[in-house]
Chains A and B, each alone.
Chain A
């Protein structure tokens, strides 16, 4: 299955600033997915990122707050903009790893906004 490298693994940021999270995959994939996991909660899908097109956002998430880039088939970034303490969460990227392996997830970025 695919191997995902996600950076940074954690960060503490000041409110009002922005953080860009990187997701690198060791193989070419069509779709990459970004999830948010708030403290003590399950995962919520933020958006789906296709190479060469605009990301598709789920209800409750907007591009101005969570801009996504997908410059090639192995890389994507998620930016958390104008952060507030409510954005403190773990952010994870994921790719489809083929029918036999389901989906592979990165280890996540633990973001704390102070």
Chain B
């Protein structure tokens, strides 16, 4: 699976959009980009995933660059409960497991 690079930490003001970047410059054509988050003392929670088109669900939006070498997870209106470690993962189609990087620790500030 392609390696991902994320900033170790970020802060975001409550109510503002949180934009979390991820570089995956070695991604191949059959690899999806997944985002998970882990709130303290809980198991990771699925957020969103995409292949090449931008995606949106009730939790977040995923913007993937045209060359697919990077992506951005957007939490449109961050709340204190969004404070967590966010993991960007690249997974091959048909692969059966996930390989986690070090993630970005997002702190939402009141």
- A residues sitting closer than 8 Å to B (CB atoms) are 1, 4, 31, 33, 35, 42-45, 48, 92, 94, 96-97, 101-108, 110
- B residues sitting closer than 8 Å to A (CB atoms) are 34, 36, 41-46, 49, 87, 96-103
With A42-B102, A42-B103, A102-B34: A96-B96 Cβ-Cβ less than 8 Å: yes
Q: Which residues of B contact A43 (CB under 8 A)?
A: 44, 98, 100
With A102-B34, A102-B36: A44-B46 Cβ-Cβ less than 8 Å: no
B5 CB → nearest A CB, Å: 13
B99 CB → nearest A CB, Å: 7
B100 A48 Cβ-Cβ under 8 A: no
16 contacts between A and B (CB under 8 A): A4-B43, A35-B100, A42-B101, A42-B102, A43-B98, A44-B100, A45-B99, A94-B43, A102-B36, A102-B46, A103-B36, A103-B44, A105-B45, A107-B42, A108-B41, A108-B42
Besides A102-B34, A103-B36, A108-B43, 5 new A-B residue pairs in contact (Cβ under 8 A), listed by A number: A4-B43, A45-B97, A97-B46, A101-B46, A105-B45
B87 A42 Cβ-Cβ under 8 A: yes
Q: Which residues of A contact B96 (CB under 8 A)?
A: 31, 33, 48, 96
A22 CB → nearest B CB, Å: 15
- Between A48, A92, A101, A105, the greatest number of chain B beta carbons within 10 A of the residue's beta carbon is seen for A105
Measured in the bound complex, the distance between the Cα atoms of B97 and A50 in whole Å is 12
Measured in the bound complex, the distance between the Cα atoms of B45 and A104 in whole Å is 7
B97 A33 Cβ-Cβ under 8 A: yes
A103 B46 Cβ-Cβ under 8 A: yes
Measured in the bound complex, the distance between the Cα atoms of B103 and A110 in whole Å is 20
Q: Which residues of A contact B87 (CB under 8 A)?
A: 42
Q: Which residues of A contact B98 (CB under 8 A)?
A: 33, 43, 45, 94, 103
B67 CB → nearest A CB, Å: 24
Measured in the bound complex, the distance between the Cα atoms of B45 and A108 in whole Å is 12
Measured in the bound complex, the distance between the Cα atoms of B85 and A76 in whole Å is 27
